[in-house]
Amino acid sequence: MAYPTASQITDMTNVSLGNLAQILFSKGFTSQMNRTFRDYESVLVNMKTGSATTERSYQYLLLTALGANSVQWQSQGTSNVAFPSGDVGTTQEVTALMKKIQATIEIDLNMWNRVRAAQAKYVDNPLALEIQSKLDVVKREQAKALYGDGTGVLGVIASSSAVSGKAVVVLSTADTAVGGGNTNWFEIGQIIAFCDKDGVAVPLSNQGTVVQFRVVSTARKTNTLVLEGQTIAGAVVSVTDITGLAAGVFAYPKSVLQATTLIGPDRDTSIDFGTVTPVMAGLESLAATDGRSVFGVTMSGQLGGSQFDHGAAIFDVSAIEESMNETEQNVGYGKYKYDNLIMPYNAYSALLEGKEADRRFNSVEDSARGGRKFIYQYGDQSLDCIKSYFCPFNRIYSLPKPCQGEMGESGYALELRGVEFRDVMLGANKEFLKVNSSGQYVNMLQSFLEGWSVLIAKQPAAINMIRNFKMV
């Protein structure tokens, strides 16, 4: 056992967040990370209708066919004509499984005791800082999941190279690439790993010790990640060859994959995107039309979303009109109201640049409150163009507001059901001493948070998606 140095005995800055206990001349801190989770606040929370009936699953019923063959026209001049045969409307019962999201709060016990004993009123509370940081991460994770497909995929490789001992990965913006190349799906310091479409882990073929990566930096303009190579134990390894990180390989958070093998979902099989991983299925699957399964529902035909394929062409505002027309015809005129167009920043900038040329765009300014926005006018509905930090670069969405359901029908096309994030309690205790790998208690204080949620589409066709477009 090595004896501690003098500085380790007296200096709390060696402890994570310990500098907050000693810096008495400065109040507060400045976060260097983007803490944005607007999508969580403006989209997910607005869809929430209350806690689920159970913490395991949520059941709901879909009417999949009206029974049109039970109606016929009949001439007045004929007799003894049989009425049409009965054709009972068909339904499908769906069970949506809750997905659990968890967080661990960890601080040094000595530092925590020292802070609690501090007399200076302006000593920051490191526990409050750590809790707030984890709550921010939780909300960001749920905001990303809103747009994901349920597999946990963060992005798809377009190309890669080795530069100065790091792997440099360019993300694909192709129509089929989950995430659309949006580097905002990757958190700085996050540990990720790569798998092929069969779910097989892709370590660097000539550097078998490099099996996972830490995100060092991201560049949104070029859809680029800079990654540090690591062993499975987290030891840093210089990357000199990126053979294996080929185009089409999928990036996942390590937490989604199997612990030691880093195996992911096999995307070649008939997986159910609602249950394949612990991650909540989002709009990429809930608005799908390719026949994939989500909680047993085949996403095609009347059970699919309303998608407008722009044919890989440069984006034109006519796509908004055509996509809204398609959605309105799928769900019925006036059934749902829409007041949003959710899009990535590059799409927002392009529309803002071209709004003067199209009379369907209007600027709205509130001089009293200082608000300013621009909207697209679709009939009597004003669609507020909303910049989204997490929306994939190859998608634009318009999501419905709740409506007045008929004959007991749910008025929500989209619902977020679940249980609020809360402390994990053991009796009356919610703080615990950390146990190390040898089963010994150490002087680290831990607490745990968890919640359950599931995003369900009770009428997928009400989700309006514009896809497969280019901005330049």
**Of the CATH numbers 3.30.200, 3.30.1490, 1.25.40, 3.90.1690, which one belongs to the domain with range 29-61+92-151+271-472?**
3.90.1690
Q: What is the mean pLDDT of residues 247-264?
A: 89
pLDDT at 407 over 80: no
Q: CB neighbours of 239 closer than 8 A, spacing ≥ 6?
A: 162, 165, 166, 167, 204, 207, 210, 227, 228, 229
Query: For residues 324 and 317, is the Cβ–Cβ distance under 8 A?
Result: no
Greater confidence (115 vs 6) lies with 115
> What is the rounded CA–CA span in Å between residue 230 and residue 239?
9
Among 2.40.50, 2.60.40, 2.40.10, 2.160.20, what is the CATH number of 152-266? 2.40.10
Q: What is the pTM of this model?
A: 0.83
> Among 166-170, 227-231, 255-259, 287-291, whose mean pLDDT is lowest?
255-259
Per-residue pLDDT tens over the stretch 111-142: 777 766 765 554 456 667 777 788 888 888 88
The span from the CA of 361 to the CA of 432, in Å, is 56
**What is the C-alpha to C-alpha distance for residues 268 and 265, in angstroms, rounded to an integer?**
9
Report which of residues 84 and 207 the model is more confident about. Answer: 84
Query: Binning pLDDT at 50, 70 and 90, where does residue 168 land?
Result: very high
Query: Stretch 191-211: mean pLDDT, rounded?
Result: 83
pLDDT of 128: 72
In this predicted structure, what is the pLDDT of residue 295?
93
Q: Which of 449, 451, 450, 389 is nearest to 35 (CA)?
A: 389
First to last CA, the chain: 61
Distances 425 to 72, 231, 356, 446, 450 between C-alpha atoms, Å: 62, 34, 57, 12, 10
Cβ atoms 112, 127 nearer than 8 A: yes
Per domain, the residue ranges of the chain are 29-61+92-151+271-472, 152-266
- Confidence check: pLDDT of 8 > 80: no
Distance (Å, rounded) from C-alpha 204 to C-alpha 427? 47
| Range of weakest confidence among 5-14, 222-231, 296-305, 352-361 | 5-14
The 10s digit of each residue's pLDDT in 73-88 is 888 888 888 888 888 8
Q: Is the pLDDT of residue 357 over 90?
A: no
Q: Enumerate residues 6+ apart whose C-beta is below 8 A from 470.
A: 312, 313, 314, 315
- The pLDDT-based confidence of 55 (bands split at 50, 70, 90) is low
Mean of per-residue pLDDT scores for the chain: 81
Find where tokens 């608005």 sit.
Answer: 287
Mean pLDDT on 309-332 = 90
Return the amino acid letter for 14: N
435-471 pLDDT, tens per residue?
A: 888 889 888 888 888 888 888 898 999 999 999 988 7
Least confident of 176-185, 245-254, 397-406: 397-406
What burial class does residue 253 get, using C-beta atoms within 10 Å of its C-beta: 0-12 exposed, 13-18 middle, 19+ buried?
buried
Radius of gyration of the chain measured on its C-alpha atoms: 26
